[in-house]
Structure formats: structure tokens, C-alpha cells
């Protein structure tokens, strides 16, 4: 039995996968309520389907990039579950998740608004091969890379860019794909993938 | 009654702490992972960095407390967590961990106010004698609270501007001591003489405090001395400042004890470690012939032991929270 958790942006995505299929799923826009009820929605999946969380074999968690607080909610939950039950923990990228779930013959460019015209972004080709690694970058730098390419932006929370597709998750396809990804060796070392230092650290580094 | 073991979790600021407390009074194991060295670089706690550090530490500290207690999660009876007041992003890590543990092990979840926790750190030393007068002193709080029984609090007065701990840190910065300067200022005062005069703000018959005027007075004094290029003695300034703070507490505690008949005087909060506060509380308690108690030094800083101690009272009352528990940056006790 596998639990999938993504609380990195405004929508709480979670699903339980068992015997080759999805037993229960959450796909609910919570925005700021994520910290209050996100966990409850995830745990309700077990109760509503008469499943015991202790039967989990694996947790797949989106570790970012995204809202710092949102990411930490999912990662804390996943870390505590995997530690408590001593099971496999697989960290995955939100940007890769967005690209993987989007069919297109163009270059796929998952983007997350990081404010002040910056985006967490990466570029994948139509076969989901990474062609520009994920980073926090300005829209100018991103468009510079994309010039002369046919591309489409993929977004989850609202963005101020055209030529775009909304991320729609297919839980079964997602879990079947990512369940074979590399698990983390030491659960204690799982951290969020912020893609950006804190402002305090950046200001200090400038000195 | 069978023994009750509560797992306490505290992440409200820059300490990640887990503790296992038996029957609300016995500290089985407490682990505190402090980030103080990390924040020193920035002259104060950086909230986003604090949140990031909590996430890195969370399972490590949990694992360590279980090892030190030689217990398993299955041996516990409840999970208690600080949900307010504090840094929202930091509080969230503890609350999220608590909710998850509560669900996995089907244990009741107990939400504890951080300041109630500070008060209950005294319970780890000796039982409360009610009614008690509580002096709450920390970086964010300065309050006089009447405690008539377990968890029954009545706010009698509080600071109208800066908290006493905040004032210590600000004055420390004015005289050039690095963060966290409050404890350093306290130490320096031991080597000084009380020769500089500072005003007592809000010297009235209320139980409220004001400290910003005192801070400004120190600032003006230092600026004036520096302009005159005269070298004032930092130890003497520390001593004079400390004596002024003691006089403020002496006056306010006297008013409180003249108006409320209590059996004990209890100090809670990080500034309970301050030697001046300890001296004046001892002096006043002796004068009114009531008992007094300070938390031991190891429970003066933020810790989860006090959360587990306070939680026991909620446990006895079957006062439990649920998976929708929210964190709050502010919340009165």
C-alpha cells in the first residue's frame, strides 16, 4: 500500500494506492486552510476506506518547489509516517510531477510563481526528458532559453503567463511511475527542495 | 490510577524539543535541539530559517527522546504540542508532527499554549500551591497572572509596550553586546555598581508594565556619554539598569500581593533565568511569607518538558484537540 502526498501549493493532492489501483484520493483546493485541514483530509482517506495506516509500505512525497509552508506540511507528515512505520520514503519534484502529468508534443515548462517576475521552473521535452534543470530564475532568463523553441507552460496555482496548460493529476499513472524512483537512504535527512535560500541568507551572502 | 506518559512537542521559536513526561511531574527524557548559533549570524531569530531547521531536526529529536527514555511510541498515552503563541511557520512543524503521530498511534492530541507551558515548568520541581501569583517574564511577555487552580488563569496586568526580555536584548545591543544579549547583560551587572539613575516607567498603582521608556532612557544616556566622549562603565550601566528593572518588579509585585491573597509566587518564562528577577522574587516572597518557585535553569529556555507537564492537566480533564488544530501567532492564556 502506497501513500502519495503533495501539499506544495494551494491544492491538497493525496491518494492511496493498493493492489494496482487507487483506493481513495483527495484533490481539493485549500489555499491557506492547508495547514489546518490538509492532514485531516489525508488521514480521512484511511478511515473512509477502512484501511490501517500501519499497512503502508511506502510514501511518495512532493518535496518542492512550492510554497515554503505548504511543502513543509507534506514533508513533515511524510517524514513522521516513514520514520514511525519504518517504511520507504520517496521524494519527488513538483515540477517533474507537473511535466509528467501533461501530454504535449511541445517543450513542457512547468512553472511556479516565485514573485517579482521570478519562477521556479524547469524544461522537459515531450518524452519527459529534462532539458533545463529546475531552478529559481527570472522570466527573462527562462524566455531566453525558450526562444526559438515551441513550448507550453504548465501551472498549478495561478500564474501571469500565456501559452499555458493547467496541471491535472492522474493519481494512478503518477504513483505507478514514481513508486520506482530512488527512496531516500536515511529518512532523517529528508529535507524540502526549496530551490532558494532564505532572504536573510542571500542578504548575508551579499556582504 | 495507571501512570500516564505524555509526549510533549515544542517548536514555537528556535528550539526543536521533544520530551516524555510521566504523570505531569516526572521528566523521563527531554531533548532540546537549539538553533541559537545559526541565528546569531543575523542578530536575531529569522523565522524562515527557524522553520527550515525544525523540519531538518524533527525526526532526529523524536528518535533521540525515545532512545533516551528507552520507550516506544506504543508506550505513550497522549501527544501534546505547542500551538500558540510563536512563529507560525515554526509552530506548524510541531503541530504537523503531533497530528501525524496522534493519528498513527491513535493517541489523544493535546494543544498547549506556550506560556501555560512555561508556568507548568514549575510543576516539574514542586506542586503548585493555589492560589498562586505568577510573574510571566520572557522575550515576548511580561504579565502578572492570578492562578486560582490548575489551568484557571486571570490576567491581572501586562506590559503595554515592550516585554522585559525584549528590553534586555535591546539595551544589550545599545551597549554593543551581541545577540542574545539579555543574559550577557545580566552577567555583566554582577560586576557593576548602581550609580546611574534611570526612570521607572508607569510608576502607578496598576499592575501593568512599560519598558520602552526605560530602553529610551538608556539609549539617551549612552548617546550623551558617547557624544561627550566620556567613557561610561558598561558593568555599572548593566547594574543600574538591572536595579531599575528589579525596582519595577518590586513595586508591581507589592501592589499585587497587597490586593490578592495568595499562597505562592511563581516565575515563568525565559527571563526566569535572570538573576535580578530571582533576587527580587525571593525578597518579596520572604517579605509576604509565602512560598516561591522558579523553573530550574534547564527549563527556563523553550523546552517540551513543560508542554508535557501542562498537558497532563488537560489529559485529566479529557480536554483534547483534533486533526484540525490550527496554530496561532498570538493567544492569551
Averaged pLDDT in 10-residue chunks for chain B of 333 residues = 95 97 98 94 93 98 98 98 97 98 98 96 94 95 96 96 95 91 95 95 95 96 90 93 97 97 96 96 97 93 97 98 96 87
Residues in chain A closer than 8 A to B71 (CB atoms) = none
**Any bridge partners for residue B10, and if so which?**
B17
Q: Which whole number is the average pLDDT over A82-106?
A: 98
Q: Is the pLDDT of residue A81 over 90?
A: yes
Contact between residue B27 and residue B124 where contact means Cβ atoms under 8 Å apart: yes
Considering only CB atoms, A187 lies closest to which of B59, B100, B322, namely B59
Q: A169: pLDDT confidence band, cut at 50, 70 and 90?
A: very high
CA-atom Rg of chain B in angstroms? 20
Q: Do B59 and A192 touch (CB under 8 A)?
A: no
Tell me the three cell numbers of residue B110: 493535546
Rounded to the nearest angstrom, the minimum Cα separation between B93 and chain A is 7
Q: What is the pLDDT of residue A45?
A: 98
For chain B, what's the residue count?
333
A-to-B residue pairs, Cβ atoms closer than 8 angstroms: 95
Question: Looking at chain B, which residue has its C-alpha nearest residue A63?
Answer: B55
Residue B105, CA atoms < 13 Å, CB-side half-sphere: 22
Residues in chain B closer than 8 A to A5 (CB atoms) = none
Q: What is the pLDDT of residue B332?
A: 85
- Distance CA(B328)–CA(B115), nearest Å, equals 13
Considering only CB atoms, B323 lies closest to which of A43, A72, A83, namely A43
Q: A207: pLDDT confidence band, cut at 50, 70 and 90?
A: confident
Q: Is the pLDDT of residue A179 over 90?
A: yes
Q: Is the pLDDT of residue A174 over 80?
A: yes
Q: ipTM of this complex > 0.85?
A: yes
Q: What is the pLDDT of residue B232?
A: 87
* A54, A64, A72, A85: best to mutate for the B interface, most B CBs within 10 A: A72
Mean pLDDT, chain A, rounded, equals 97
User: How far, in Å, are B7, B32, B59, B73 from residue B65 at the CA level?
Assistant: 9, 9, 10, 11
Contact between residue A121 and residue A111 where contact means Cβ atoms under 8 Å apart: yes
Say whether the peptide bond before residue B180 is cis (omega within 30 degrees of 0): yes
A154 contact partners, CB below 8 Å, separation of at least 6: A98, A99, A102, A108, A109, A110, A111, A164, A165, A166, A167
Considering only CB atoms, A81 lies closest to which of B62, B100, B326, namely B100
Residues in chain B closer than 8 A to A85 (CB atoms) = 104
Q: What is the pLDDT of residue B1?
A: 77
Q: Is the pLDDT of residue A119 over 90?
A: yes
Torsion of CA B71, B76, B78, B84, to 10 degrees: 0
Q: How would you class B106 by CB atoms within 10 Å of its CB: exposed for 0-12, middle for 13-18, buried for 19 or more?
A: exposed
Provide residues of A within 8 Å CB-CB of chain B.
35-37, 39-40, 43, 53-54, 68-69, 72-73, 75-77, 79-81, 83-85, 187-188, 191-192, 194, 198-201, 204
Q: What is the pLDDT of residue B333?
A: 84
Amino acid at each position: 500500500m502506497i501513500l502519495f502526498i503533495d501539499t506544495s501549493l494551494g491544492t491538497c493532492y493525496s491518494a492511496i494506492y493498493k493492489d494496482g489501483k487507487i483506493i481513495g484520493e483527495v484533490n481539493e483546493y485549500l489555499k491557506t486552510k492547508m495547514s489546518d485541514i490538509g492532514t485531516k483530509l489525508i488521514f480521512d482517506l484511511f478511515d473512509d476506506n477502512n484501511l490501517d495506516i500501519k499497512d503502508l509500505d511506502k510514501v511518495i512525497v512532493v518535496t518542492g518547489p512550492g510554497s515554503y509552508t505548504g511543502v513543509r506540511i507534506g514533508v513533515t507528515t511524510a517524514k513522521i509516517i516513514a520514520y514511525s512505520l519504518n517504511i520507504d520514503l520517496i521524494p519527488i519534484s513538483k515540477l517533474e510531477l507537473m511535466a509528467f502529468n501533461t501530454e504535449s508534443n511541445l517543450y513542457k515548462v512547468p512553472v511556479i510563481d516565485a514573485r517579482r517576475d521570478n519562477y521556479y521552473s524547469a524544461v522537459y521535452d515531450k518524452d519527459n526528458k529534462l532539458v533545463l534543470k529546475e531552478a529559481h530564475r527570472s522570466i527573462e532568463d527562462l524566455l531566453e532559453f525558450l526562444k526559438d523553441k515551441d513550448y507550453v507552460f504548465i501551472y498549478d496555482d495561478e500564474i501571469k503567463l500565456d501559452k499555458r496548460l493547467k496541471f491535472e493529476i492522474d493519481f494512478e499513472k503518477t504513483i505507478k511511475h514514481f513508486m520506482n524512483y530512488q527512496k531516500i537512504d536515511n529518512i532523517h535527512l529528508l529535507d524540502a527542495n526549496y530551490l532558494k535560500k532564505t532572504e536573510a541568507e542571500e542578504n548575508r551572502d551579499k556582504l | 490510577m495507571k501512570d500516564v506518559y505524555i509526549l510533549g512537542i515544542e517548536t514555537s521559536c528556535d528550539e526543536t524539543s521533544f520530551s516524555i513526561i510521566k504523570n505531569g511531574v516526572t521528566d523521563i527524557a527531554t531533548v532540546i535541539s537549539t538553533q541559537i548559533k545559526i541565528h546569531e549570524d543575523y542578530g536575531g531569530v529569522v523565522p524562515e530559517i527557524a522553520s527550515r531547521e525544525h523540519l531538518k531536526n524533527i525526526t532526529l529529536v523524536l528518535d533521540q527522546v525515545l532512545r533516551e527514555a528507552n520507550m516506544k511510541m506504543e508506550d505513550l498515552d497522549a501527544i501534546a504540542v505547542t500551538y500558540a503563541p510563536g512563529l507560525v511557520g515554526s509552530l506548524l512543524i510541531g503541530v504537523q508532527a503531533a497530528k501525524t503521530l496522534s493519528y498513527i498511534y491513535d493517541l489523544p492530541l493535546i494543544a498547549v499554549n506556550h506560556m501555560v507551558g512555561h508556568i507548568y515548568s514549575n510543576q516539574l520541581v514542586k506542586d503548585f500551591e493555589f492560589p498562586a501569583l505568577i510573574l510571566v517574564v520572557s522575550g515576548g511577555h511580561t504579565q502578572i497572572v492570578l492562578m486560582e487552580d490548575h489551568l484557571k488563569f486571570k490576567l491581572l496586568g501586562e506590559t503595554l509596550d515592550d516585554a522585559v526580555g525584549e528590553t534586555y536584548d535591546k539595551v544589550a545591543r545599545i551597549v554593543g553586546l551581541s545577540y542574545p544579549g539579555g543574559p550577557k547583560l545580566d552577567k555583566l551587572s554582577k560586576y557593576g555598581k548602581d550609580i546611574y539613575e534611570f526612570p521607572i516607567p508607569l510608576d502607578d498603582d496598576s499592575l501593568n508594565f512599560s519598558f520602552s521608556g526605560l530602553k529610551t532612557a538608556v539609549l539617551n544616556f549612552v548617546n550623551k556619554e558617547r557624544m561627550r566622549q566620556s567613557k561610561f562603565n558598561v558593568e555599572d550601566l548593566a547594574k543600574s539598569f538591572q536595579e531599575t528593572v528589579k525596582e519595577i518588579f518590586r513595586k508591581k509585585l507589592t501592589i499585587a500581593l497587597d490586593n490578592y491573597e495568595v499562597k505562592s509566587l511563581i516565575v515563568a518564562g525565559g527571563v526566569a533565568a535572570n538573576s535580578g528577577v530571582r533576587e527580587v522574587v525571593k525578597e518579596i516572597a520572604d517579605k509576604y511569607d509565602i512560598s516561591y518557585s522558579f523553573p530550574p535553569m534547564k527549563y527556563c529556555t523553550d523546552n517540551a518538558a513543560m508542554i508535557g507537564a501542562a498537558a497532563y492537566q488537560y489529559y485529566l480533564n479529557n480536554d483534547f484537540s483534533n486533526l484540525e488544530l490550527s496554530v496561532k501567532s498570538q493567544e492569551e492564556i
